Amino acid sequence: MPADSPVFSRIAIVGLGLIGGSIAFAARRAWPSTHVVAIDREAVLREALARRAIDAAGTDLSAVRDADLVVLAAPVRQNLSLLHQVAAHVSASAVLTDVGGTKRAIMDAAARLPAGTPFIGGHPLGGGARGGFEFATASLFSRRPWILTPPAGGGPPATAGRPAAIGAAVDRLSAFVTGLGAQPAIMAAADHDRLMALISHLPQLAVTALMDVVGSVATSGGLRLAGQGLIDTTRLASSPAGVWRDICATNADEIARALDLLIERLSDLRSDLQRAEIVDAMFQQAAQWRAELMKGRD
């Protein structure tokens, strides 16, 4: 598909925050002829129109009616409650997706939609600690993974029994997110949630708990003496509560499993502080995984 032929000609974005706004900017950069309508609070829509992120401001959910791609880009639990209302307005030929940080809850809800509305879960990775349309940028997804979770039975093309409509929707969405600069990766929702609990949710919660504990015991006077180590480590501690409240609620089982692993590791370490060879081994393993994490990055 040539870069100048839009994958979707009319896009509706429900929720114009960091991700929704960045999709608008990136889609218009990739395909200038694409028409973008967004639904959000009036002040946000006014700013988005002024910054030419969108073509039209939707006043209610019926504004998704003419779109061939509808993106739910509100916080996770808001997407869950919007899904059925939005699906009622969506045209039969449209593809429906979301950008939430957990995938089983929305896929379960989508499985209860009337037959014929293809819903493919989506999760663009990366982003920043700061949310909101004011930080939206066309380059947010550049070279970052964008996970797509088809409904069960609608996995990678080789999977037998994959319904044709789902397959076509996955292909179009893959082409779309590639056009936004991202690298699509297809994964089952359960695998997504298990992996994210480890590489995203656990680090966020560990750092939030750490900052809370250190701050409340060391207080302001102690924090003044903290070095760059604590500063780098706790950057995520300023992440917005609203996003994480929903992620915790909709991935609680996998997050609890990941927390158990960390708690167990810290408890073991607590008993082994005087055993040099054990402390050494943990630092060496951690340094190796850190090197692995940084492989191929700047």
Residues in the chain: 298
How far is Cα 83 from Cα 138, in angstroms, rounded to an integer?
A: 26
For a copy of itself, the binding residues in 156-175 under the rule CB under 8 A are none
Per CB under 8 A, 204 contacts a copy of itself:
yes
Q: Which is nearer to a copy of itself, 86 or 147 (by Cβ)? A: 147
Question: Rounded to the nearest 10 degrees, what angle do helices 164-179 and 18-30 cross at?
Answer: 80
Whether 258 and 201 have beta carbons less than 8 Å apart is answered as yes
Per CB under 8 A, 143 contacts a copy of itself:
no
CB of 75 to a copy of itself, least distance (A): 11
Q: Which part of the chain contacts a copy of itself (CB under 8 A), choosing from 13-21, 55-63, 78-86, 223-231?
A: 223-231
For a copy of itself, the binding residues in 30-69 under the rule CB under 8 A are none
Whether 273 and 279 have beta carbons less than 8 Å apart is answered as yes
CB of 205 to a copy of itself, least distance (A): 6
SS3 for 198-260 is: HHHHHHHHHHHHHHHHHHHHHHHHHHCCCCHHHHHHCHHHHCCHHHHHHHHHHCHHHHHHHHH
CB of 260 to a copy of itself, least distance (A): 7
Per CB under 8 A, 217 contacts a copy of itself:
yes
Q: Which part of the chain contacts a copy of itself (CB under 8 A), choosing from 80-88, 108-116, 155-163, 231-239?
A: 231-239
- Please give the structure tokens belonging to residue 39: 């639904």
Q: Which is nearer to a copy of itself, 116 or 268 (by Cβ)? A: 268
Per CB under 8 A, 207 contacts a copy of itself:
yes
Q: Which is nearer to a copy of itself, 168 or 279 (by Cβ)? A: 279
CB of 39 to a copy of itself, least distance (A): 24
Whether 190 and 174 have beta carbons less than 8 Å apart is answered as no
Whether 236 and 211 have beta carbons less than 8 Å apart is answered as no
CB of 194 to a copy of itself, least distance (A): 9
For a copy of itself, the binding residues in 236-295 under the rule CB under 8 A are 236-242, 244-245, 248-249, 252, 255-256, 258-263, 265-267, 269-270, 273-274, 276, 279-280, 282-295
Using CA of residue 169, residue 178, residue 75, residue 12, what is the dihedral sign?
Answer: negative
- Please give the structure tokens belonging to residue 240: 């917005």
For a copy of itself, the binding residues in 82-141 under the rule CB under 8 A are 125-129
Q: Which is nearer to a copy of itself, 26 or 202 (by Cβ)? A: 202
How far is Cα 184 from Cα 7, in angstroms, rounded to an integer?
A: 15
Return the closest-CA partner of residue 120 out of 107, 101, 102, 105: 107
CB of 172 to a copy of itself, least distance (A): 22
CB of 278 to a copy of itself, least distance (A): 9
Q: Which is nearer to a copy of itself, 165 or 249 (by Cβ)? A: 249
Whether 176 and 213 have beta carbons less than 8 Å apart is answered as no
